Amino acid sequence: MPSWIGAVILSLSGLLLSLPAGAEVKARSCGEVRQAYGAKGFSLADIPYQEIAGEHLRICPQEYTCCTTEMEDKLSQQSKLEFENLVEETSHFVRTTFVSRHKKFDEFFRELLENAEKSLNDMFVRTYGMLYMQNSEVFQDLFTELKRYYTGGNVNLEEMLNDFWARLLERMFQLINPQYHFSEDYLECVSKYTDQLKPFGDVPRKLKIQVTRAFIAARTFVQGLTVGREVANRVSKVSPTPGCIRALMKMLYCPYCRGLPTVRPCKNYCLNVMKGCLANQADLDTEWNLFIDAMLLVAERLEGPFNIESVMDPIDVKISEAIMNMQENSMQVSAKVFQGCGQPKPAPALRSARSAPENFNTRFRPYNPEERPTTAAGTSLDRLVTDIKEKLKLSKKVWSALPYTICKDERMTAGAANEEECWNGHSKARYLPEIMNDGLTNQINNPEVDVDITRPDTFIRQQIMALRVMTNKLKNAYNGNDVNFQDTSDESSGSGSGSGCMDDVCPTEFEFVTTEAPAVDPDRREVDSSAAQLGPSLLSGSLVCIVLALQRLCR
């Protein structure tokens, strides 16, 4: 044997003796990693059978590894995809809450309006017959405008309701004075006396207060559900930054490259990675919580003084009460109008069409709340709002809680019980760095994610602004004030305006509670209904007093 060969052997022997006890000379098998990698759906052609030198790695530790460059790239993309799916899955509850409750509330509201319109039409056909049918467009227009307001149309509720009563006065004034001919100018003069004469009693004022505030609250509430739905849908679709993707890869799949595919990340390690990746989402939380609080306040109004159901269910009865008031006071109203607008010209001839309703013997019954179980969308407003309030409360702090919810998942981390047997980003050992606080500015010293705290996410800032604007509108609605906004459905847009104070009156909450559904005296109602069945055309002049005197209503 040549002397130089012996020298080499001695050198190798000395090198082996100098290695630490337990050090492995033979490269470890990548069998477990191959199995786990293949289970992800990747081709095994990318993965070696035994560990190789890791100088080529860009994210994972550059030690002996089971990962090739192609594997690191694919696993990096896989970590990004899994993170996006995790965020979407974790925020599923809040998204479905707003989607399902918006759908239910919208369905309930639309059906409530449809039921109210149908009830009014049925009642007035029975009570007033042809006289109603010949003038039904006045009432149809009322409901059309209410629906248009609800869907975001450019409707001023107060002006629209004033216009309804003015039009109704014009029509009724002609019916109770069939012996005269009225020009358009004369009828316009008549309508100007609506507020002064109060021909319909106090019904228009009370109804305007109740309808306006209830519709403002309901429309703003459903718009709030829309905004919450849109913000939740948008924020749940995250676009991780390059720094976040590197951190995700290091946390989720560098254990693969180290030959430890079954070792899961340490919980605190996961929290720091998620807090860095979701820093902007956490900044949404403050405005989101204020938005939820404002939604809950309006929900309380809907349950109490601004209850749209208690306004719309008996609206047919209330309008009929107003018509009866007009019939009772027809002589005084006509006299004052003639005095203010001038004596009208006699009609060429009385037409027989203005006669009593066809269903002369149909008796108009008083409204009884117990007789009208709510059928709108198979629920009631109280039950619906109670359910929505419970879900809204659960959605508070949802965005700052995302990291904790994700890292609590057993599929993600080893859990608090395995702090020594988890992946800490370098090896299987305890994770030592402290947990970062929430939000972008607190990530300046995040040891796991490179976060640029000087560049907030523009998209998230847009959602914060959307919530801020909606919260302001909800506060206005809570106080009974109308708001202007774009319909988020993009189907229609519009605005309404109003101080929330009708006829120089700003009712207190107590006044709303006591006036939202005026009680009806059954005895008085039976008497009034008989007068109503005679038809407006027969209740003109002295005949009104004769009929009412017989029924002990004329003083």
The residue ranking higher by pLDDT, 268 or 193, is: 268
Stated pTM of the model? 0.75
Distance of alpha carbon 114 from alpha carbon 136, whole angstroms:
15
In tens, the pLDDT along 151-210 reads 988 899 999 999 999 999 989 999 889 898 888 989 889 888 778 888 999 999 999 999
228 pLDDT higher than 90: yes
Distance of alpha carbon 190 from alpha carbon 170, whole angstroms:
7
Of the pLDDT bands very low, low, confident and very high (cuts 50, 70, 90), residue 519 is very low
CA 362, chain centre distance (Å): 44
Distance of alpha carbon 415 from alpha carbon 407, whole angstroms:
8
Quote the pLDDT of residue 192. Answer: 83
Among 141-150, 275-284, 297-306, 415-424, name the one with the lowest average pLDDT.
Answer: 415-424
Average pLDDT of the chain? 79
Give Cα separations from 52 to 56, 257, 259 (angstroms).
Answer: 10, 10, 11
What does 302-354 look like in DSSP terms, one character per residue? HHTTT-HHHHHTTHHHHHHHHHHHHHHTHHHHHHHHHHHH-PPEEPSS--TTS
397 pLDDT higher than 80: yes
Q: Which residues contact 377 (CB under 8 A, 6 or more apart)?
A: 104, 107, 108, 111, 384
- 309-327 mean pLDDT: 91
Give the whole-number percent of the chain exceeding pLDDT 90.
55
